[in-house]
Amino acid sequence: MPATRSRRIAVLDAPSNLGLRPPTPSTVPGCAKAPGALRDHRLLSRLNAVDAGCLTPPRFDASAWRPGDGVGQAKAIAEYTRRLADRVERLWQERRFPLVLGGDCSILLGPALAARRRTERDRQGRGLVFIDAHSDFRHPGNSQYVGAAAAEELALATGRGQPDLTDIGGLRPYVDTDHLVVLGLRADDPHRVELEASGVAMRTVPALRANGVGRSAEWALDSLGDVATFWLHVDTDVLDPSVMPAVDGPAPGGISLGELSQIITTCAADDRCAGMDLTVFDPDYDPDGKYAKALTDLLVEALQ
């Protein structure tokens, strides 16, 4: 029986846009509206999901950031990460399957911290399947400066970067690269070689398709190694812009809706899958709701 059927899905809104830079000086990133847009298309009732509510983020204010300052809005992101980890842990205690709706990719730090806390208690390994067009692996060791946590969350989760985000509770790293698998990366990603050198199992879009999407998903599960559970991170920008342009960082050469659905279905059906987050869908680029409907349909197909 798929994990999402043996444990009822609990949908938790995490509408944080703290990890992004403002699109213009007078606007804020629209991905904070994503949970509401998906709910408008009856996501919860169609999944027969528990409503786990909304974790309201701190106020977005990127006005003071300058190059060289480190990760922007780091104090607010750290606070939100702690609170999100608490909420995810509570859902696990209730034997739910958390479906966390972002928001930007910095929300991954919350579930990653929650999983690391569990590891500290029971000494069992935790893994991460990271589905994203970008590696989000920028850190001070490979870049002149950092700034937007939503382009750096995988580096932060693996312990690379400033301690106020990488070592919350003295639990650095939240994710061990030996138990990390990356799918959907574009072949020209600037940090792909560094990830591979770190021992991260990875398939870019061409490799994913060459080996077959279904087989690649099974390979990802096998490549996690000896873990008790794993988290599934899905950045909507892994989809090709021809089918999903309503994202904050569209990247040509992505996968189709059907391919992503197949990967999510395979991963979520594994009994070790502890939950999933979905990030970076931006309703500001979807005025008629067409892409919100497509994304809702995908989630229902993949998780039912």
Instruction: State the average pLDDT over residues 242-254.
Output: 97
Q: Give the Cα separation of 278 and 271 in Å (integer).
A: 19
Report the first-to-last Cα separation within the chain, whole angstroms: 11
- The torsion angle over the Cα atoms of residues 230, 3, 131 and 288, rounded to 10 degrees, is -140
Average pLDDT for residues 159-168, to the nearest whole number?
98
pLDDT band at 3 (very low <50, low <70, confident <90, very high): low
Give the global pTM.
Answer: 0.97
Res 2 pLDDT > 60: no
With bands split at pLDDT 50, 70 and 90, how would you rate the model's confidence at 123? confident
Q: What is residue 168's predicted lDDT score, i.e. its pLDDT?
A: 99
Over the range 156-167, which residues count as b (16 or more CB within 10 Å of their CB) and which as e?
A: bbbbbbbeebbe
Across the range 169-179, mean pLDDT stands at 97
Distance CA 89, CA 92 (A): 5
Check residue 1 and give its pLDDT: 36
- Mean pLDDT within 34-57: 99
Instruction: Compute the distance between CA of residue 154 and CA of residue 177 in angstroms, rounded to an integer.
Output: 10
Domain holding 10, by residue range, is 3-303
**Residue 93 confidence (pLDDT):** 97
- Model confidence at 251: pLDDT above 90: yes
223 pLDDT more than 70 = yes
What per-residue confidence (pLDDT) applies to 290? Answer: 99
The total number of structural domains in the chain stands at 1
Share of the chain above pLDDT 70, in %: 98
Other C-beta atoms closer than 10 Å to the C-beta of 52 total 22
pLDDT score of 124 more than 90: no
Residue 15 has pLDDT above 60, yes or no: yes
Q: What is the mean pLDDT of residues 126-147?
A: 96
Domain harbouring 289, CATH code = 3.40.800.10
At 265-304, the pLDDT tens digits run 999 999 999 999 999 999 999 999 999 999 999 999 999 9
Residue with tokens 């990133």: 29
pLDDT band at 5 (very low <50, low <70, confident <90, very high): low
- Is 80 in contact with 16 (CB distance < 8 Å)? yes
Mean pLDDT of the chain: 96
Say whether pLDDT at 116 is over 50. Answer: yes
Is the pLDDT assigned to residue 107 strictly greater than 70? Answer: yes
